[in-house]
Each structure stands twice: as structure tokens, then as C-alpha cells.
Structure 1
Amino acid sequence: MRNRLITALAFLVGATAVASAHHGWGSYDSAKKFSIEAPVEMIAWQNPHAHVMLKYDNATWEITLAPISRMQNRGLTEDMLKTGTIIIAEGYPSTRRAHEMRAERVTVAGKVYEMR
């Protein structure tokens, strides 16, 4: 019985740590939706979210995309976001970091990919 309790507690602590490591979307202003159309400057194709850098309004914006598996399931691959590829990112600005956006959708070569 004691081993079961210790195992259950260890699982609970581990699950709590994993859940708290992932963030919510409350730090983005959903009342200020906007779009950026620009060539990809840089891409970081990694979990938990991919990121692309785009020049917009005399600044470099970091665009937070969906998890890799979601984008791949919807047909968006890393090769499609190579440096120089013009994309349109539509989403919400961060309330914590200047020049950061959470993308709701991305358009590449005329095709729209939902990030939600």
C-alpha cells in the first residue's frame, strides 16, 4: 500500500511539473489581431512550438507557431518556411514581449494553415 501511495505521489508531482512547464495563451492580446506579410528571416523548428522571425515595421518580430506535429498533420513542413519564403502570419501581439506574435494562421504560397 505504501509503495502505491509513493508511486501515485511521484506521478502527481511529475504531471504537475509537466503541465506547469507549458504556457497558456493569456499573455497575447486577442483584441489586437493583425497580419504581417514578409520573408522568413530565420526559423526555429523545435518543440514545443516552432518560431519564425519576420521583419515588420522596422523591427524583427518573433512569430510563435503551433506545435510541430500539428503543423505537419495539416501539411505545413519546415521546408515550406525556408529563409526568404514570403509568408503571411495572422495573430495576436504579446502583452509581455515587444515584437512577438502568436500566430492563429499562416499563409504560404497562397495556402492557409490553421495553427489552432
Structure 2
Amino acid sequence: MTMTRRTTLATALATGLGLVLATPALAHHGWAWTTGGNIVLTGIIRSVSLGNPHGVLEVDAEGELWTVEVGQPWRNARAGLVDGDLAEGVEVTIEGEPSADPDERLMKAERITIAGKVYELYPARS
């Protein structure tokens, strides 16, 4: 096998392996794991981790701790959220899609309301 052919084969194998390893991450970061219907959750933010691939809030809603995925930094900024809006101790109302697994307290936020102001992370999808 020539060096060029080995390099081409190695590149193809590495690319294929990368796609296989990325598939679970892509599936999680879509909407397939949600119910497809929205719920409204009101509670107090207990912890915040903002960044890529998306931010995550832990929200205490009536004694139940929910994990809430919010947008990527650019999506949060586009919605009008600024540093400090999503902070520990802040009361939030979140509308979004919960996990299809009823045993998980996990949801993907579409809109967040803080002190009466609504932030649209994912404007209406058609």
C-alpha cells in the first residue's frame, strides 16, 4: 500500500470514528429526548453553569430539584439575558419541554421569565 493510500485510509477511518463518537452527543442536544409538549416550572435557581454546548441551571421547584438546559451563550445573549440574570437565588419561571422519561426532572427551556420580563430562547418553532 502506498503512503498516499495509507494516509487517505487513515483519514477516512478517523473521520468515521469521529462521526460515530459524536452521534450520542448530537442526539442529546436536539429535541428527541423531550416529550414534545411544554410545561411551566417556577422555582429558585440553586446552581448555574453557563457555557457551551449549553447552560445548565439547577432549579428548586416546590422541593424538587430540576435540571434545566438553557441556551448556548450566543442564544442567551440574543434573547436579552445578561450576566447576573441567571444567578443563584433568582426566582424564575421556565416554560419548556420536559424529558420523555417521567422519572427525570430534566427540561429544555424555551422561554424564561425573571421579574416579569420574558426571554425567548427558542422563538416559536413550526
Given that residues 49 and 68 in structure 1 are in contact (C-alpha distance below 8 angstroms), is that contact kept between their aligned partners in structure 2?
yes
Once the two structures are TM-superposed, the CA of residue 19 in structure 1 deviates from its matched residue by 4.3
Structure 1: which 5+ residue stretches go unaligned? Answer: none
Letter in 2 for 1:111: K
Letter in 1 for 2:45: V
Once the two structures are TM-superposed, the CA of residue 63 in structure 1 deviates from its matched residue by 0.9
Larger-Rg structure: 2
* Alignment equivalent of 1:94, drawn from 94, 99, 115: 99
Corresponding residue for residue 22 of structure 2: 18
CA RMSD of the aligned region, Å? Answer: 2.2
Letter in 2 for 1:79: G
* Alignment equivalent of 1:50, drawn from 55, 61, 74: 55
Alignment coverage as a number of residue pairs: 115
Corresponding residue for residue 7 of structure 1: 11
Given that residues 45 and 78 in structure 1 are in contact (C-alpha distance below 8 angstroms), is that contact kept between their aligned partners in structure 2?
no
**2:26 is equivalent to residue 29 of structure 1:** no
Once the two structures are TM-superposed, the CA of residue 7 in structure 1 deviates from its matched residue by 2.4
Identity rate, percent: 30
For residues 108 and 63 of structure 1, what CA distance do their matches in structure 2 show?
15
Instruction: Select between 68-77 and 41-50 the one with higher mean Cα deviation.
Output: 68-77
Find runs of 4+ consecutive structure 1 residues off by over 4 angstroms.
Answer: none
Q: TM-score scaled to structure 2, two decimals?
A: 0.74
Deviations 1:29-51 (A, max 9, x none): 123x1212222111111321211
For residues 28 and 57 of structure 1, what CA distance do their matches in structure 2 show?
22
Distance change in 2, residues 1:45/1:36 (3 Å): same
Once the two structures are TM-superposed, the CA of residue 67 in structure 1 deviates from its matched residue by 1.7
Distance change in 2, residues 1:60/1:69 (3 Å): same
For residues 21 and 102 of structure 1, what CA distance do their matches in structure 2 show?
15
Q: TM-score scaled to structure 1, two decimals?
A: 0.79
